[in-house]
């Protein structure tokens, strides 16, 4: 039996070309960041099956703000996951910024709100 390995590559940065893109996106694997959608503006592609949502934690860390309310951000992220029925998304990766215990508390909050469980890996 021959084993075939498949790699799925997600297109990142789609939001920057969304207005120029004229073709359907249902067959494109798209990765987007909640950081891009946090103001409530986003395209229909966030609802499609081949979409994966990143928390935007790296974008926050790159930013100039130092007084981020991570509880508020996590609640908004969680609400977005629910509102758009996200099936694929990343947890917040803030261990280096707020420590393991606080990061796990935020993860637990997201799990409870969305009734999902993050896999340990």
| 60 or 2, which is more confident | 2
Describe the strand order of the beta sheet including 30-33 as a list of residue ranges: 11-12, 30-33, 51-54
Long-range contacts of 35-41 (CB under 8 A, 24+ apart): 35/59, 35/60, 37/80, 38/73, 38/76, 38/80
Contact 73, 35 (CB under 8 A): no
Residue 67 belongs to what H/E stretch? none
Say whether pLDDT at 2 is over 80.
yes
C-alpha torsion angle, residues 49, 34, 36, 101 (rounded to 10):
-160
Q: How far apart are CA 55 and CA 93, in angstroms?
A: 8
Has residue 119 got a pLDDT over 60? Answer: no
Where residue 121 falls among pLDDT bands split at 50, 70, 90? very low
> Bridge-partner residues for 30, per DSSP?
11, 51
Instruction: Quick: pLDDT tens for 4-47.
Output: 888 889 989 888 888 888 888 898 999 999 988 888 889 899 99
């Amino acid at each position: 039996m021959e084993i075939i390995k498949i790699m799925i590559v997600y297109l990142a940065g789609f939001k920057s070309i969304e207005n120029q893109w004229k073709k359907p996106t249902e067959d494109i694997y798209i990765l987007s960041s909640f950081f891009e959608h946090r103001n409530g503006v986003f395209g229909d592609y966030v609802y499609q099956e081949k979409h994966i949502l990143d928390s935007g934690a790296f974008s926050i860390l790159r930013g100039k703000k130092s007084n981020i309310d991570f509880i508020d951000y996590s609640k908004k992220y969680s609400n977005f996951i629910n509102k758009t029925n996200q099936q694929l998304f990343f947890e917040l990766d803030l261990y280096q910024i707020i420590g393991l215990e606080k990061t796990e508390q935020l993860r637990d909050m997201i799990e409870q709100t969305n009734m999902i469980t993050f896999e340990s890996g």
